[in-house]
Amino acid sequence: MSGFQGRVAIVTGAGAGLGRSHALGLAKAGAKVVVSDISRDAAAAVAAEITDMGAEAMAAAADVANGDQVRAMVEKAVAAWGRIDILVNNAGILRDKSFGKLDPVDFALVMKVHVMGTFNCTQAVWDQMRQQGYGRILFTSSASGLYGNFGQANYGAAKAAMVGLMNVLHIEGAKYDIRVNTLAPTAATQMTVGLVSDEVAALLAPETVTPAVLYLVSEQAPSRMIMGAGAGVFAVTHIRETEGVFLPEGERTPERIAARIAEITDTSGERILDSAFD
């Protein structure tokens, strides 16, 4: 896809797996890439891959949950290249356990990395994107957040939060041509080792997801789209609301709701709403 020449992109968690694939994909398309990872060595290795193929990259060792480190990374990129056009929020961790056995520390840690990490990175580039009148921001959700998955209460909660954040920033960024989308990838990475077979892992290579990333952060990108991607399949998730049923004041009881639940849940008149006030 065209439109990446001269663009500056930050990809978090880019030292391996999906992030590495996204960073390489953006570089091949012509973007200058900040390869961000909590591991300095991993970030440097991927940045070296990019420069070896003739593109521009810089490595940035940053913990996305640390606001100071994130701001320093952004300032370094702007000092070197003058702008930030694209942010791919990819960094994440897993601490899976059934809810009854889930340690509050592990719940808080996953929320910190995914939710606060995404917040830190996005807010760090927000003013720059507003000033330049252009920005493309991608959040990473998951089917676990959209639909649920056993043993992932912390991860699912964090990934569902991405959709809420996207909805608000889509509205706030519109007049600055900041477009905000969410990716829901299905891929075999270091976080899925032991969870899927080698055969399935081969089908779910990170490279099968990256084309969706390039579309969602391109000049031609939509905004407020949730796109699922994996194994060469691309799909979109929609959040819709049924038309609803008005109940007169005397009928606003649980019993009347139950009696008319078929009408209330009827999908024939459902629609996508543009904002909460709709």
Q: Which amino acids are annotated catalytic?
A: 155
Query: Are 137 and 12 contacting, i.e. CB atoms less than 8 angstroms apart?
Result: no
Query: Are 106 and 98 contacting, i.e. CB atoms less than 8 angstroms apart?
Result: no
Find the farthest-apart pair of alpha carbons in the chain and give their distance in angstroms, rounded: 73
C-alpha–C-alpha distance, residues 12 and 182, integer Å: 15
C-alpha–C-alpha distance, residues 245 and 257, integer Å: 9
Number of Cβ atoms within 10 Å of the Cβ of 66: 16
Which residues contact residue 101 at a Cβ distance below 8 angstroms, ignoring those fewer than 6 apart? none
**Nearest partner of 26 among 37, 44, 41, 12, judged by Cα:** 12
Residue 208 DSSP class: G
C-alpha–C-alpha distance, residues 251 and 231, integer Å: 50
